[in-house]
Amino acid sequence: MNRRHFLGQSVAGLGLLAGFSGQARANLQKAEILVIGGGYGGATAAKYLRLFSNNTARVTLIEPNAAFLSCPLSNLVVGGSRTMADITSSYDNLSKRHGVKVIQDSVVSIDPDKKTAKLASGKILSYDKAVVSPGVSLIMSSIEGLAQANKEGVTLQAWKAGSETVTLHKQLAAMRDGGVFAISIPEAPYRCPPGPYERACQVANYLKQHKPKSKVLILDANQDVTSKGALFKKVWAEQYPGLIDYRPRNNVIAVDAKTKTLKVEVEDDVKADVLNILPAMSAGAIAVNTGLANSNGRWVNVNYLNFESTAQKDIHVLGDSIQVAPAMPKSGHMANQHAKVAAAAIVAELSGWEVNPAPVLTNTCYSFVNERQTIHVASVHQYTPEKKTFEPVHGAGGLSPAPSTLEGIYAWGWAHNIWADSLA
């Protein structure tokens, strides 16, 4: 049977052709696998659990959003050159093509002893294996007054693509010419290291065209730009002279919503017109509340061979929630790669096989510096058994030499391909 002919088989029929032997195959087929969170990690895990099991594993995906909203590229929506429609994809193919049961709901608690998850709707689902991919939680209490300011709509974070992304653009569009758009960055690690600097570019790109007397103020708690530093600084100097005021070692500790004033550690207070304040982050709430965040109470330690939590058996954690290996970024691309290693390991375990002793991960990350040009960073991470971790391969990976329109075109190609790889 050739590959094309094979495509014509029904999803249900595929399992019958599987070569898994006896009991192992039965274990794989009867296991209930619950994937919690349908972002880059969770959606990919759901799809690849089906693919790697020859479509025999029973996979349920729980995701509160009706559609997949991409955080990568959402800064273009903040800057106004793209809309949410450009970064939204359907979950339909996960069920239609791949036989994943998709439930639009959220998990409010996990009982690791009973191996159950409780949904917001009240339903309780049992699992044999849980894959937890909840992204990050923003620790609003880490900045005094931030929770209240967010509630009043004065400070938005827009660090998860959605309604705040659109509202932040509206705030930018409504800002007076001569105003200040402030972005604050927490100490690393946080989701998407180059994201805040890309956002600064997108806001500056808008201001340059529409409100040239205005400014972007970046208050960075870190010592320096945390990703693609030299490239971003060159762009700021060459494309946005006088528009971006970058201040490293500026840690925002409080916000006054009424006066739109930011209190910065050691430095003078700062007033701004739009306040885009990013607080410290942790593993997603469900991971923290389940007691999985055993690295400083913020991130989840995992066994990198199968991404199983070191705190709870049979709960595998992916993406931004994990305590990262050296030089491993918290990115959507990386979450997709985690998912494939975890999916293969879960299928191996349920089949009675050894898990792959030598998995590989890659990362590719584009940042748009205006509406057309991007800069990238790429890396390859091989598993090192002696250290039980992934390490970046020396001599591989790297940065763009300069902003590139061709790479801007590739960035959209990357997006359409990774969305298809995760969802279609």
Partner 1 sequence: MSGLSIAQISNPSQLYKSGLVATCANCHGTNGNGVVGASIPLINTFTSEQMLTQLQAYKNGSREGTIMPQLAKGYTDEQLETIALQLGKKR
Q: Is 327 in the site for partner 1 (CB under 8 A)?
A: no
**Nearer Cβ to partner 1, position 40 or 206?**
40
Residue from 362, 372, 384, 389 binding partner 1 (CB under 8 A): 362
The span of 112-120, 275-283, 291-299, 343-351 binding partner 1 (CB under 8 A) equals: 343-351
Whose Cβ is closer to partner 1: residue 150's or residue 374's?
Answer: 374
| Cα–Cα distance measured from residue 72 to residue 367, given in angstroms and rounded to the nearest whole number | 9
Chain centroid offset of residue 370 CA: 22
- Shortest distance (Å) from residue 222 CB to partner 1: 25
Residue type, 216: V
CB nearer to partner 1: pick between 312 and 400: 400
- Note whether 410 binds partner 1 by CB under 8 A: yes
Give the C-alpha separation, 147 to 139, whole Å: 9
Rank residues 94 and 143 by Cβ distance to partner 1 and give the closer one. Answer: 94
* Count of residues that bind partner 1 according to CB under 8 A: 63
Q: Whole-number minimum distance, CB 330 to partner 1, in Å? A: 16
CA torsion through residues 283, 287, 289, 290, sign: negative
**Residues numbered 45-74 forming contacts with partner 1, rule: CB under 8 A:** 47-48, 51-55
**Residue 397 in contact with partner 1, rule: CB under 8 A:** yes
Residue 282 found at the interface with partner 1 (CB under 8 A)? no
Binds partner 1 by CB under 8 A, chosen from 340, 350, 370, 403: 340
Task: Note whether 159 binds partner 1 by CB under 8 A.
Answer: no
Distance CA(255)–CA(245), nearest Å, equals: 19
Q: Which is nearer to partner 1, 97 or 118 (CB)?
A: 97
Can residue 97 be called a binding residue for partner 1 (CB under 8 A)? yes
Which one among 49, 333, 349, 390 touches partner 1, defined by CB under 8 A?
Answer: 333
CB under 8 A: which stretch of 125-133, 186-194, 234-242, 399-407 binds partner 1?
399-407
Stretch that binds partner 1, among 189-197, 281-289, 321-329, 407-415 (CB under 8 A): 407-415
Interaction of residue 347 with partner 1, rule CB under 8 A: yes
Interface segment toward partner 1; rule CB under 8 A; list 139-147, 174-182, 307-315, 346-354: 346-354
Closest distance between partner 1 and the C-beta of residue 340, in Å? Answer: 4
Q: What does the alpha-carbon distance between residue 17 and residue 239 come to, in Å, rounded to a whole number?
A: 58
Give the chain as a 3 state SS string.
CCHHHHHCCCHHHHHHCCCCCHHHHHHHHHCEEEEECCCHHHHHHHHHHHHHCCCCCEEEEEECCCEEECCCCHHHHHHCCCCHHHHEEECHHHHHCCCCEEEECCEEEEECCCCEEEECCCCEEECCEEEECCCEEECHHHCECHHHHHHCCCEECCCCCCHHHHHHHHHHHHCCCCCEEEEEECCCCCCCCCHHHHHHHHHHHHHHHHCCCCEEEEEECCCCCCCCHHHHHHHHHHHCCCCEEEECCCCEEEEECCCCEEEECCCCCEECCEEEECCCEEECHHHHHCCCCCECCCEECEECCCCEECCCCCEEECHHHECCCCCCCCCHHHHHHHHHHHHHHHHHHHHCCCCCCCCEEEEEEEEECCCCCEEEEEEEEEEECCCCEEEECCCCCEECCCCEHHHHHHHHHHHHHHHHHHHC
Stretch that binds partner 1, among 193-201, 213-221, 243-251, 357-365 (CB under 8 A): 357-365
* Residue 393 near partner 1 by CB under 8 A: yes
User: What would the two tokens of residue 35 be?
Assistant: 């994937």
Q: Is 390 in the site for partner 1 (CB under 8 A)?
A: no
Task: Return the residue matching tokens 């608690």.
Answer: 109
Whether the Cβ atoms of residue 55 and residue 97 lie closer than 8 Å to each other = no
Per CB under 8 A, 229 contacts partner 1? no
Stretch 284-323: interaction string toward partner 1, x if CB under 8 A:
----------------------------------------
Q: Is 353 in the site for partner 1 (CB under 8 A)?
A: yes
Does 386 help bind partner 1 (rule: CB under 8 A)?
A: no
Binding site residues, partner 1, CB under 8 A: 3, 6-7, 11, 14, 17-20, 47-48, 51-55, 93, 97-98, 333, 336-337, 340-341, 344, 347-348, 353-354, 356, 358-362, 364, 376, 378-382, 392-393, 395-398, 400, 404, 406-407, 409-410, 412-414, 416-418, 420-421, 424
